[in-house]
Copies of this chain bind each other. A is one copy, B any other.
Amino acid sequence: MPNIQLDPRLKQDSHHLGWLGATELLLMRNSLFPWFVLVPNTNEIEFYKLDSALQLQILGQLNLVSEFVEHRYQIDKMNIGLIGNIVSQLHIHVIGRSRKDLCWPGVVWGVKAFAPYEPGQVEEIVEKLVTFSQGVLRINPESGHCTGSG
């Protein structure tokens, strides 16, 4: 299994939250939207080229994060996107959208406006995620699957 080497642009634009299995979970540095990103542990850039087992793992993780976003935020619609035109590393956007948000009903990709999280807010989200996921979200990577461990 490859070790994720997070693309520098993803790293710069996001807070690292933890791991769901071997998938790294990120939060975009923009508190205007509940905007999570899953980065599966693979060098393949297209989801449909992954083997079934990995697709199913990611599907479970996508469901979990979606459920958390619905549980934690007031949202009207979930937006899911696999784009990768700029950063090709496979990553999946999970964004809770509200009729009151800045971009509604447009998509958020490419938006210039942003507001950073206040101190403590990201840690609070991690804490809630750990509780919500009943420990599936791990703060520390599983042995052998971690960023930069190789």
Binding site for B on A (CB under 8 A): 45-48, 55, 59, 62-63, 66-67, 70, 77-86, 88, 97, 104-107, 109-110
**Shortest distance in angstroms between A83's beta carbon and chain B's nearest beta carbon?**
5
Which one of B55, B86, B105, B109 lies within 8 Å of A85 (CB-CB)? B105
> Main secondary structure on chain A at its contact with chain B?
mixed
Measured between alpha carbons, how far is A70 from B48 in the docked complex, in Å?
10
| A77:B66 contact, CB within 8 angstroms | no
Judge whether A107 and B105 touch: CB under 8 Å.
no
Q: Which B residue's beta carbon lies closest to that of A62?
A: B48
Contacts of A62 in B (CB 8 A): 48
- What is the bound-complex CA distance between A110 and B106, given in angstroms? 7
